[in-house]
A and B are shown apart, each in its own frame.
Chain A
Amino acid sequence: AQSVTQLDSHVSVSEGTPVLLRCNYSSSYSPSLFWYVQHPNKGLQLLLKYTSAATLVKGINGFEAEFKKSETSFHLTKPSAHMSDAAEYFCVARNYGGSQGNLIFGKGTKLSVKP
C-alpha cells in the first residue's frame, strides 16, 4: 500500500537560515509527489510537483524538492527562510490503487520561523 511519512511534525528555524522538511513515501508504482502549503485559516496552495521528469523540482517562493528513488524521499528545502514561510506543509502522493483519485496526505509539518 502507498503511504507518505513526514518525519517531523514541527520544525522551527530562524529567519534567513535554511529550511528542510522531510518526506518519505512508499509506492509500488512510479509516484507522483506534491508539496502543498497551508497558511493559517487558508486553503492549500501547490508549492511544487514531481511527475517523473527532472528529479530536482523547483517551486514557488524559492522552494525546491529532490526526488531520490534510492532513498524513497522527497524532501522540501529552501536556502533562506522568511517569516511569511511560517505555515503547515503537506507532502502528498497520488494514490494509484484503492479509491481512484485520492491523494495520500502526510500528517503535515508545521514550520515556525523565528525573527
Chain B
Amino acid sequence: DTEVTQTPKHLVMGMTNKKSLKCEQHMGHRAMYWYKQKAKKPPELMFVYSYEKLSINESVPSRFSPECPNSSLLNLHLHALQPEDSALYLCASSQDPPTSGEGKTQYFGPGTRLLVL
C-alpha cells in the first residue's frame, strides 16, 4: 500500500484566519514533504522532514509553519495568508530520507485545494 492521505480536501480561508493542513502515511516512511502547486504548473518543494526533523526549508515565508508530531503525521499550519497563496498543497512521503538509502521514490497524497480570500 502506498497511500498518503490529506485533509481537508478543500479549504477556504480569510487572510486573518489560522488553519492547518494534515497529512498522514502508515507505510513506515521516514521522510515527508510539502509541495505547493499552482494551476498549470509543476509542484514546488516547500519543506522536507527526515526522521521527524525539518531538513529542508525552501525559503518559505513564515506564514507557513510545518510540524511533524510523529513519524506518520505531517501538518502545515497557515496564518495570515495572502490570496496568492491559493494553490493545491501536496504532501508526499518516501521510505528513506532523500540523502540516503535506495527508497527515495516519493508517493503523493491527493492534495488540499486552498483558496485564500
Contact = CB atoms under 8 A, between A and B. Distances in A.
A115 interface: no
A105 B43 contact: yes
B42 interface: yes
B66 interface: no
Describe A's contact surface by its main secondary structure.
loop
A107 B104 contact: no
A99 B99 CA distance: 10
Given A41-B113, A49-B105, A101 B42 contact: no
B98 A42 contact: no
Interface string A67-110: 00000000000000000000000100010000111110111100
Contacts of B90: 43-44
Interface residues of B, number: 30
Nearest to A99: B56
Interface residues of A, number: 22
A43 B110 contact: yes
Contacts of A108: 40-42
A105 B108 contact: no
Given A99-B58, A101-B31, A45 B108 contact: yes
Interface of B: 2, 4, 6, 31, 33, 40-43, 45, 48, 50, 55-56, 58, 90, 92, 97-99, 102, 104-111, 113
Interface of A: 32, 34, 36, 41-46, 49, 51, 90, 94, 99-103, 105-108
